Amino acid sequence: MSRLAKLEKAWVKASAEERLLFLKRVATQDVDLWSAIDPDRQQLIADGRYLLPSTVTRIERIMAKRSIRPDEVTAEIGFPGEGKTLIRALAKGASLRLAMVKALDAWLKRQALRGS
């Protein structure tokens, strides 16, 4: 039996309360469901020069997992010495240069391939 078939079977057997709990759990995992379904789909990371909240969460998660600081992230993306700029964008929603947004997009894709 496939995993999908097992999931469907469990869903049918679950009570309404269990289904709701499952949906809430999935919603809190900050999973990009469309990327899981279609990896080629473009995922927006910013609205112009401002990072989306989901992007901030992803970057913070990767930084915590890899035990790196914002200045290390900016060095990895080709903007050494710009750690404070990234800190302001993550903490206060400050704008970034479009070149930095583009570099962060590429960095996030590389991190996804690494499993970070």
The answer to whether 46 and 89 have CB atoms below 8 angstroms apart is no
Whole-structure pTM value: 0.65
For residues 80-97, average pLDDT:
96
Chain-wide mean pLDDT for the chain? 88
Q: Hey, where are the domains in the chain?
A: 1-30, 32-114
pLDDT value of position 30: 54
For residues 81-105, average pLDDT:
96
Q: What percent of the chain has pLDDT over 70?
A: 85
Render pLDDT for 13-41 as a digit per residue (tens, 0 to 9).
999 999 898 888 877 665 555 555 555 55
Listed residue (59, 112, 57, 106) closest to 83, CA to CA: 59
d(CA 3, CA 62): 28
d(CA 4, CA 10): 10
d(CA 80, CA 2): 47
Render pLDDT for 57-82 as a digit per residue (tens, 0 to 9).
999 999 999 999 999 999 999 999 99
Provide the 8-state DSSP code for 115.
Answer: T
Task: Examine the pLDDT at 12 and tell me if it is beyond 70.
Answer: yes
pLDDT value of position 25: 81
